Amino acid sequence: MTGLLLLVPIALFLGLLGLAGFLWSLSSGQYEDLDGAGERILNDDGPLTRKTEKRD
Amino acid sequence: MNCCGAGLAAECTNNTKDLALWQRDEELRRSGRVMPDGTAEYVFSIPQIHCGACISAIEDGLLGVEGVVASRVNLTLRRATVRLDSPERAPGFLFDVIGKIGYKAMPLDMADQAHEQARQSSELLKALAVSGFAASNIMLLSVSVWSGAEGATRDLFHLVSAMIALPTVAYCGRPFFRSALAALRVRKLNMDVPISLGVILAVALSLYETFTGGAEAYFDAAVTLIFFLLIGRYLDQLMRERARSSVLGLARLAAKGAMVVLETGDIRYVPVDEIEPGMRVRVPAGERMPVDARILTGSTELDRSLVTGESAPVLAGAGDAVEAGTFNLTGSVDMEVLRPASQSFLAEVMRMLEAAEQGRGRYERIADRMARAYAPSVHILSASAFVMWMLITGDFHQSLYTAIAVLIVTCPCALGLAVPVVHVIGAGRLFQSGILMRDGSALERLAEANHAVFDKTGTLTTGEALATVSNLPEAEARIARALALNSTHPASRAVAQALAGTVPIEGEAITEVAGFGMEGIFDGRRARLGRASFVGEIAAVAPAGEGLVFAVEGGMSHAIAIAETIRDGAAQAIAVLRAQGIESEILSGDAPAAVGRIAKAVGIGKWRAGETPASKMARLEQLRDQGLKTLMVGDGLNDAPALAAGHVSFAPATASDAGRFAADFIFTRNNLSAIVEARDISLQAAKLVRQNFGLAIAYNFISVPLAFAGQVTPLVAAIAMSTSSIIVLANSLRLQRRNGATMATKRELVATPGKTIGAKA
């Protein structure tokens, strides 16, 4: 019983962590272009794009 | 922005090309937004984007240009977002940059409702995440209870479940509660009524059990139900959004404003709804008329195909009235505004369109038709379970418990998934074939269609003219091409296209005489391309007839035949439809001779010519009164009311804004086989939806008697509900199976216009 008092909150906390992580990734726009994200791995000019985007 | 624009315009009022460019800049500027850091953001729709190479080509190509701070391509939505360093920089050049990379960009207006929609789907996704979290954690606790937790441990688990379930139901259940309330308010029942009732009663009962130390709580059932249903809701929303963004993405630069000539002689850009009667507007060649107006000075040729459906250009000069929406082909004109934009011909058609759309709003979706029978029977079942148990045992608590168990197991979880999943997969398959669907009910309606109506210009034909040039000596062909290249007139474009193999010769003083043709001087000799009478003035022998003629001064005159090109696959598509029992007819605004010719070529026996927007719509209503469900295919503004009045409608991507707005399906490829393919998919989808309903009802046949007998524990409910949902999902996924072409080859085919995808029939 005392074990449960510890384990249930831990389980819930970890679950909430996952939920918070998902909500963060959602609000930061990571799901806006799922097809494109897959294709972008193959492009080797990533750093160039990132550099220019940082400038603004 | 007007101030800097006025200066610019004053410099280049003489040059009609620059004037058009300037107007394009002004319109694009209004669609952009200024970011907090002082940059300006513009969004373009680029339908041809289809792979990773496109992403890097466009992004890198744009980044290399002066003034571009950032560019980002969205492959899913086929859009490019470009940020310029300052809102003052004219954004029109971006079209040319993207055009040079090899793509065709169309601006997107950020001010429209697409934003509101996007917010809605991310709300649903959030609710989905929260309910997923809650469902998994409550299920964890429930499994412990089912596997034997007792006494204080069980009560604790129930309490923790309650603490997770209550806020979850309150937050994630809102879409269902809202829709159920809305239905009840108008004294109707929809699927959401039994869902809301089931969820609320399950939670209330479980709370009671929790606080009285009872053994069985349904928190897991309530939350899992919401989770599954939200999946269906989200998919539905996602599909509608993607279709909408694609349709909006195709929005062409319609006349959103016009250049008004002030009394001082200055020119100012004025949005279309601020233009008033009596103002003087200047419309350069290559622009659409913003309002109904009368020409004061200048003469030009007009493409009135959006208004009348007639493809041949019409000559107009001072004193002629011009409708909004007609396209100015050859000359810049100054006009006096006759009516404000809200009363223009265009606005009139839009009003007809709205009226017709309302008529279609009466269509009842399959899921709602099911709900009408399903919801009352579920409620009656549950009530009779309560009455029966009261009569037999007299135990109020046990009777109520059984009644709620009946409500929970009959909750239309599988039904909620049955339709949206099939529609989403169907929309995905259509999308891959270059067909965009506006909403799920269109797929249902397409499967029901049993009569087809086609427009001619732009639908059965490509709207582009095809010139046949024969026996033209090489030297003269080079001159003809040089003349043709200098005009945007459809006939000139067709000639330039037909002579694509020859190199144009350098000429002097090439001018366009509006309404007559082109003239230029080559090696000291005059040459003309245009109307027979115009060319006859310089030719050795005056040409006979009316058609297009080319001649060099003192030389032979050469007649050039201009014909309409029939869209690829038109005749095949019509033949296939006929084989499936769907008869076709043509409604066209064009002259009878032209319509008859095309009708014969594509194999349609029944046609009407000289139709107006109103008479087209009337014909469709007449067909509806005969009990026919009409499939309407059209493109023009003149077709828009008919498109909305049809049971289901198609428009090519090249259609007018109004046409695309009114149509249910938009096909981006050049081939009419799209209609046959979409219908195939819709028939498959309809079959799967019926099967899904069958499966869901079969499930109820097993679970309802169990619940009636009081044998449904929370464990049984959880297993039964999940199993039925998974079976329905798995069945729906069968729609994804395609015969023949793999995904990769299909993508390529879609990406290359001109190549055709063979109709499966």
Answer yes or no: is pLDDT of B387 > 90.
yes
Percent with pLDDT over 70 in chain B = 84
B55:A12 CB<8 A: no
Answer yes or no: is pLDDT of B246 > 80.
no
Average pLDDT (B412-432) is 81
Burial bucket for residue B278 (CB in 10 Å: 0-12, 13-18, 19+): exposed
CA distance A9 to chain B (A): 10
Average pLDDT (B76-83) is 81
Interface probe with A: pick from B54, B76, B164, most Cβ of A within 10 Å: B76
Q: What are residue B272's phi and psi, to 5 degrees? A: -60, -30
Chain B residues whose beta carbon lies within 8 Å of the beta carbon of residue A48: 60, 63
What torsion do the CA atoms of B743, B749, B752, B757 make, to the nearest 10 degrees? -150
Answer yes or no: is pLDDT of B267 > 60.
yes
> pLDDT class for B353, splitting at 50, 70, 90?
low
Quick one: closest CA in A to B134, which residue?
A15
CA distance A21 to chain B (A): 10
User: Who wins on pLDDT, B23 or B185?
Assistant: B185
Question: pTM to 2 decimals?
Answer: 0.70
User: Who wins on pLDDT, B3 or B296?
Assistant: B296
3-state secondary structure of B150: coil
Percent with pLDDT over 90 in chain B = 9
3-state secondary structure of B28: helix
Is the ipTM here above 0.85?
Answer: no
Average pLDDT, chain B: 79
3-state secondary structure of B510: strand
In whole angstroms, what is the distance from residue B436 CA to residue B47 CA?
11
User: Who wins on pLDDT, B468 or B231?
Assistant: B231
Interface probe with B: pick from A2, A4, A44, most Cβ of B within 10 Å: A4
Quick one: closest CA in B to A2, which residue?
B153
In 3D, which of B3, B45, B8 has the Cα closest to residue B23? Answer: B8
The pLDDT assigned to A45 comes to 58
> pLDDT class for B757, splitting at 50, 70, 90?
very low
Q: Just list the catalytic residues of B.
A: 455
Highest mean predicted confidence (pLDDT) among A23-27, B147-151, B264-268: A23-27
In whole angstroms, what is the distance from residue B638 CA to residue B640 CA?
6
In whole angstroms, what is the distance from residue B617 CA to residue B456 CA?
15
B137:A12 CB<8 A: yes
Answer yes or no: is pLDDT of B164 > 90.
yes
The pLDDT assigned to B20 comes to 66
User: CA-CA distances (angstroms) from residue B471 to B474, B550, B557, B559?
Assistant: 9, 12, 11, 10
Interface of A with B (CB under 8 A): 1, 4, 8, 11-12, 15-16, 18-19, 22-23, 26-27, 31-36, 39-40, 42-43, 45, 48-49, 52-53, 55-56
β-bridge partners, B512: B518
User: CA-CA distances (angstroms) from residue B525 to B77, B559, B670?
Assistant: 53, 19, 41
User: Who wins on pLDDT, B167 or B617?
Assistant: B167
Out of B57-66, B542-551, B703-712, which region has the weakest mean confidence (pLDDT)?
B542-551
Average pLDDT (B667-691) is 88
B residues 11-30 near A, CB within 8 Å? none
Chain B residues whose beta carbon lies within 8 Å of the beta carbon of residue A16: 133
Answer yes or no: is pLDDT of B742 > 50.
no
> pLDDT class for B639, splitting at 50, 70, 90?
confident
The pLDDT assigned to B253 comes to 39
In whole angstroms, what is the distance from residue B535 CA to residue B528 CA?
6
The pLDDT assigned to B310 comes to 61
Out of B55, B76, B140, whose CB is closest to A34? B76
In whole angstroms, what is the distance from residue A26 CA to residue B125 CA?
8
Average pLDDT (B510-520) is 77
B39 touches chain A (CB under 8 A): yes
B177 touches chain A (CB under 8 A): no
B156:A4 CB<8 A: yes
For residue B506, the one-letter residue type is: E
Average pLDDT (B93-118) is 70
* pLDDT tens, residue by residue, B305-319: 666 656 667 788 888
Answer yes or no: is pLDDT of B32 > 60.
yes
Highest mean predicted confidence (pLDDT) among B133-142, B484-493, B525-534: B133-142
Average pLDDT, chain A: 76
Quick one: closest CA in A to B153, which residue?
A1
* pLDDT tens, residue by residue, B448-489: 899 999 988 778 887 677 777 777 777 778 888 888 877 767
The pLDDT assigned to B755 comes to 34
A15:B136 CB<8 A: yes
> pLDDT class for B109, splitting at 50, 70, 90?
low
B residues 199-258 near A, CB within 8 Å? none
In whole angstroms, what is the distance from residue B637 CA to residue B458 CA?
11
Chain A / chain B CB contacts < 8 angstroms = 75
3-state secondary structure of B370: helix
Out of A26, A49, A53, whose CB is closest to B126? A26
The pLDDT assigned to B93 comes to 84
Q: What are residue B108's phi and psi, to 5 degrees? A: -115, 135
Highest mean predicted confidence (pLDDT) among B102-111, B218-227, B247-256, B486-495: B218-227
B154 touches chain A (CB under 8 A): no
B126 touches chain A (CB under 8 A): yes
A56:B37 CB<8 A: yes
Out of A4, A19, A56, whose CB is closest to B129? A19
CA distance A44 to chain B (A): 9
> pLDDT class for B171, splitting at 50, 70, 90?
very high
Quick one: closest CA in B to A30, which residue?
B74
